[in-house]
Amino acid sequence: MAVTIYDIAREANVGIGTVSRVLNNSPKVTSETRDRVIKVAKRLNYQPHAFAQALARKRSSTLSAIIPFFTDYFFIQVLQGVQETLTSLGYDLIIHGTNTQEHVEEYLQKSLRKGRTDGTLLFSLELPQRYADEFLEKKIPLVLVDTYHPSFDSIRTNNFEGTRIAIEHLLSLGHTNIGMINANLQSSPARERLQSFKETLQKHGLEVNEKNIVNSRNIKSHGFTRESGFDCMQEFYSRNVKMPTAFFVSSDVQAIGVIGALKEHQFHVPNDVSIISFDDIELADHFDLTTMRQPMYEMGELAVKKILQRIENPAAPISLINFTPELIVRASCGANKNYIFSASN
C-alpha cells in the first residue's frame, strides 16, 4: 500500500496540515519540524501524488473566502466542505465576513494583492464588473459559489428549477392559493426564487396575487433568518387577506420563524397551512420541514477543487456547475415523511 501524508504525520508526530506545508515548501513551518518531516518521508520512501507536487509550486498555500454572514446555517455547512477539503491539502483559509457592499469591495481589493493568497472564493455576492476586470487582468484565480459571472468558474444551485419543483409539488397536493415568504431582494437567490415562483404559477394557469408575497426588508443575512421569517408572516397577517393554504418559504431557517408566527395566530402546520422551504439544513428534519435540498457541503468541497484546478491551469475553459435541488418531503406539507424526489423522477 502506498505511503500517504497520514503515515508521515503519524510517524513524525505532527498534523497532516504540517506535512502538507512541508511538502508545499510553505514558510510557515519551523526548520526543526521541516527536517523531521523530510527525514520520515525519505525513510518511508514517500512518493508525492502528482496533484500534491503541483500544489508545491504555489506560493502561500492560502485561499481567501469572502462570504456574507458566515454564521448563517447555509454558509456554515458550505464552509465545512471548504475547510475540511483545504485541511486535507495543507491549505489555510482566510475568511472575510461582510454585511455591506463597502466591505465586499474592501475584501475584493485585499484579494487582488498578488502573493497574499493563491486565490479567492466569493460566496453569494454579486461581483462588480470593475473588480471582475481587475481579477482577469492580474490573472488571480477566482471561483464564485452560489452566484454567477460569465468570466469565472461558478458553482451554484438552480434556484429556478428548485422553486418550480417545490411549487409543482404543492399543486400536486391540490393547493391553488399559494403564498411566498421571501428573503431580501438584494439577494440574487431570493430574486430568482421569486421569479420562478411567479412563472410556475402562471404556467399552470394561476393568477399571481402580490398580496400573498412578502419580501423581507431585513438586511441581516439578506433576510435569510428565523427573525425575518417570523416578521414577514406577521406582516402578511396584518394585511387582513385570506390565508393561503400553503406557503413557499425561501429558506428553512425562515420557515421556522414562519411556523412560530402561524402558531401565534392559531394556525397549525400542516393541518391549516402547508409549508415548503429551501436548503435542508440540519434543523429541517427536526421541524419536519418539506424542503428543497441543496448539496451545501459538496458545493464547498467542489469550490476548493475547482479553484486549485484553476491555479494549476489558468487557461482552462470557464465552467458552470449548476446543481438541481432534491425535494425532501416531510410532514410540513401534509405528505408522507422522508420521501425523496429528484427532478429525474
All cell numbers assigned to 180:
411566498
CATH value of 62-157+296-323 in 3.40.50.2300, 3.40.50.1100, 3.30.450.20, 3.40.47.10: 3.40.50.2300
Cα Rg of the chain (Å, integer): 23
CATH value of 5-55 in 2.60.40.2470, 1.10.260.40, 1.10.1060.10, 3.40.50.720: 1.10.260.40
Whole-model pTM? Answer: 0.77
Any idea where the domains of the chain sit in the sequence?
5-55, 62-157+296-323, 159-294+326-341
Q: What is the pLDDT of residue 62?
A: 86
DSSP letter, residue 228: H
Q: Which residues contact 215 (CB under 8 A, 6 or more apart)?
A: 182, 183, 184, 185, 190, 194, 223, 232
Instruction: List C-alpha distances in Å: 84 to 37, 65, 91, 92.
Output: 22, 14, 10, 10
DSSP letter, residue 262: H
Q: What is the pLDDT of residue 7?
A: 81
- State the CB neighbour count (10 A cutoff) for residue 227: 16
Question: Nearest CA to 325 among 314, 311, 341?
Answer: 341
97 with 122: CB under 8 angstroms?
no
Fold match between domain 62-157+296-323 and domain 159-294+326-341: yes
The C-alpha cell 399543486 sits at 171
Question: Nearest CA to 256 among 232, 240, 220, 222?
Answer: 232
How far, in Å, CA of 133 to CA of 7, rounded? 44
DSSP letter, residue 242: P
CATH superfamily of 159-294+326-341: Response regulator (3.40.50.2300)
All cell numbers assigned to 237:
397577517
How far, in Å, CA of 99 to CA of 219, rounded? 8
How far, in Å, CA of 95 to CA of 270, rounded? 40
78 with 297: CB under 8 angstroms?
yes
Q: What is the pLDDT of residue 57?
A: 52
64 with 107: CB under 8 angstroms?
yes
Instruction: Spell out, as residue ranges, where the chain has pLDDT lower than 70.
Output: 1-2, 47-59, 69-71, 336-345
The C-alpha cell 421569486 sits at 194
Q: What is the pLDDT of residue 70?
A: 57
- Answer whether the bond into residue 27 is a cis peptide, omega within 30°: no
36-56 in b/e form (b: 16+ CB < 10 A) is bbeebbeeeebeeeeebebbb
